Amino acid sequence: MNDRNTPFEGFDRLFETVMRSMSAMPAAGTEAGVRSGRLRMEQTDEGYVVVADLPGFEREDIDLRFGDGVLTVEADSETETGGVTRSRRVTEGIRVPGDVDVADVEASYRNGVIEITVPVTDGGDESHHIPIR
């Protein structure tokens, strides 16, 4: 039997830890909500609330769209420091069940967190740009 450590033992331990952590998380669609990448959606009496952490972005860097039943959050930022340009881009989408009242969708952005209120109605589903307060 070989008592030497292999270079992969640390990776094996890390993998086992991650798998244990993931199995302890609630499944999508449970009372804890639905998650898609950075987006987290919770059901309310009026529809849904979608929340995402977008630290380091300005309100003007974020674009929200709703179309074909999908809420899409895009954030694009470019900064220059000492002649070096740094770009960041985030694009996430989450399917919203039901008929969304796109005219009443509201969004706010504070302290790097965007919160989008998505009311559900009996109306149709058309593409719509969502302003951020």
92 or 127, greater pLDDT? 92
pLDDT tier for residue 21 given thresholds of 50, 70 and 90 = low
131 or 37, greater pLDDT? 131
In a domain, 8, yes or no: no
- What are 102-124's pLDDT values in tens digits? 889 999 999 999 999 999 985 54
In a domain, 18, yes or no: no
pLDDT tier for residue 35 given thresholds of 50, 70 and 90 = low
Name the helix (H) or strand (E) containing 65.
strand 62-67
In a domain, 7, yes or no: no
In a domain, 40, yes or no: yes
Give the per-residue pLDDT at 119.
94
Name the helix (H) or strand (E) containing 41.
strand 39-43
Cα–Cα distances (Å) from 112 to 9, 10, 51, 61, in that order, read 38, 34, 11, 12
Give the per-residue pLDDT at 14.
74
Considering its fold, how many domains does the chain have in total? 1
- What are 64-103's pLDDT values in tens digits? 999 988 999 999 998 888 888 888 899 999 999 888 888 8
In a domain, 3, yes or no: no
Q: Residue 34 belongs to what domain range?
A: 28-130
CATH number of the domain that residue 62 is part of: 2.60.40.790
pLDDT tier for residue 24 given thresholds of 50, 70 and 90 = very low
In a domain, 112, yes or no: yes
